[in-house]
Chain A
Amino acid sequence: MTKNTALKKAISAPYLVWAALFIIVPLIFVVYYSLVDAGGAFTLDYIKSIGRYKDIMLNSIWLGFVATIICLVIAYPLAYIMARSTKNVQRTMMMLVMLPMWMNLLIRTYSLMILLQDTGILNSVFSFLHLPERHMINTRGAVILGMVYNYIPYMILPLYSIMAKIDYGLVEAAQDLGASRTAVLRKVILPLSLPGIASGFTMVFVPSVSTFYISKKLGGSTFSLIGDIIEMQFKSANNYNLGAALSLILMVLILLCMAIMNRFTGEDDDGGVLI
């Protein structure tokens, strides 16, 4: 039996080597590049430059947070309704929610842009209804909308899957013990769905904070998130060291947010909920 176990362990060796080489080592490179200058000499200048990007950093986190909360508020009732409906409705809804998710992010964002632009469909509809036309593209609101639109399926799915697992008998037990509709929601459904909230939060917050395409297309040239700045360092400014330093800081900040979030929901990150 021990021989068999040893054999089993051995077949994970290629993966372990791979993980070390392509997960751990690249992260070490990020740390290394952020601590040296272009010539390879040690410097803290790039890390210190965070001061210059503080506002952009905070702005990114704030927008990501707002988008995540909006997703949560919209998705929670939907997930609840889905989990309580018949199997056929559940299946159809799952499909309808997942379908846009399989569309490429770029395409989704771009079609949203068509809708929002000054000469776009929405404004045509407004003028047709004799409403004042509105400038919507290249605003903070448009960027948040883009985040919500692109990432809301990632909130709906974990919430739905955890709520579908809640034994309806528990709801009946609570009602039996005198809990009203709202009390059932507050005392039973909400606490039991916390793991779903936590994983939905992570799945929306992380890509929202670090996005660069959404802000580029819907925020316009004057509007930059931290993702845009990092992308610029690697794709046009060729300042890898600054890019690495900003990435490092972004990573740490997101880890920090996650830690706060996990304390809040009382869940340890055991890999999160896979859909």
Chain B
Amino acid sequence: MKQKMSALSKLYIALIIVFLYAPIVVMIIFSFNSTVSTSVIGGFSTRWYQSLLHDTGTIKALTNTLLLAVTSSLIATVMGTAAAVGINAMKRRWIKKTTMHVTNIPMMNPEIVTGISMMLLFVFAGAMIHKDDVLGFGTMLIAHITFNLPYVILSVLPKLRQMDPHLPEAAMDLGCTPLRAFFKVTLPTISTGITTGLMMSFTLSLDDFVISYFTQGPSFETLPIRIFSMTKKRVTPDMYALSTLIFVAILLLLVLLNVSQVRGERKLRNKLDKEGA
């Protein structure tokens, strides 16, 4: 039974929303401040947005971040989906269990431990081949793929489990080769899981700071790393401007996603209504 909310519930929700959004609102306000101060508002200005446009370092970091997020999430999705299919077909319980435990490690472990463990590996490997600047795009890509993989596998695996195992068999019965049956039947059935995994990987990769921080080199700077080095010193409001832009981008994305979802549901409902009539 879905109920109307009581006044107390509404107040409670309002307080939490204020708590969650107060810092963000403050940041947005100061991004339009005409002075450098973070406590006094001098007047409205877009100077920080303009200076952001001319900041080649930040723009480079942005493209780097996108490049890393796209490549790592795509590779993780392909490898992770294949892994999930294999894990699902595993017969021996202990092998399956062990594999799942290993898969869970990057999710359960503190990020800092994952970060330094990979850094140690890379530095060691670098020393072996006598290369000092081993840390860079390559090492970050490996690290991002690694922490994305469990999210892909855990999104795809339940869909595989829910799928009727006789479905591919039916396809083969109708003349499909096993490979064709996989692409024609299995893949479409688990596609929602794959999409979820891909989207999670992409956003996690965009957002990651801790693991990137330990596996990054001076040759390749991502946005979170750049924000980190900017916040080390006394910050100028162009960082607020950057953050505001990121916030607005995410907001738009989420609203669009929601609207399309609502639309889809409404369409489905209309269709069902029509068929019912």
Contact = CB atoms under 8 A, between A and B. Distances in A.
Interface of A: 3-5, 7-16, 18-19, 22-27, 29-30, 33, 74, 77-78, 81, 84-87, 89, 91, 93, 95-100, 102-108, 110-112, 114-115, 117, 119-121, 124, 149, 152-153, 168, 172, 202, 206-207, 209-210, 212-213, 217, 227, 230-231, 234, 240, 243-244, 247, 250-251, 254, 258, 269, 271-272, 274
B86 A111 contact: no
A202 B110 CA distance: 10
A102 B258 contact: no
B250 interface: yes
Nearest to B121: A26
14 contacts: A8-B88, A10-B86, A19-B102, A86-B2, A103-B243, A106-B227, A108-B24, A110-B231, A111-B27, A114-B26, A210-B110, A258-B108, A271-B104, A272-B107
Which of B116, B149, B210 has most chain A Cβ within 10 Å? B116
Measured as residues with beta carbon below 8 angstroms from the partner, the interface class of chain B is: 35 or more
B116 A9 contact: no
B104 A12 contact: no
Interface stretch (B5-13, B48-56, B66-74): B5-13
A271 B157 CA distance: 12
A217 B210 CA distance: 15
A93 B21 CA distance: 13
Contacts of A227: 110, 112
Nearest to A32: B120
Contacts of B231: 106, 110, 217
Interface of B: 1-3, 5, 9, 12-13, 16-17, 19-24, 26-27, 30, 38-39, 79-80, 82-91, 99-100, 102-114, 116-121, 123-124, 142-143, 145-146, 149, 151, 153-155, 178, 203, 207, 209-210, 214, 223-224, 227-228, 231, 235, 239-240, 243, 246-247, 250-251, 254-255, 258, 261-262
Contact of B17 (A81, A96, A168): A96
B83 A26 contact: no
* Pairs A-B, 5 closest by C-beta atoms: A12-B86, A15-B83, A210-B110, A26-B117, A111-B23
Contacts of A217: 231
Contacts of B210: 213
B12 A250 contact: no
A269 B120 CA distance: 28
A89 B5 CA distance: 10
B12 A149 contact: no
B86 A23 contact: no
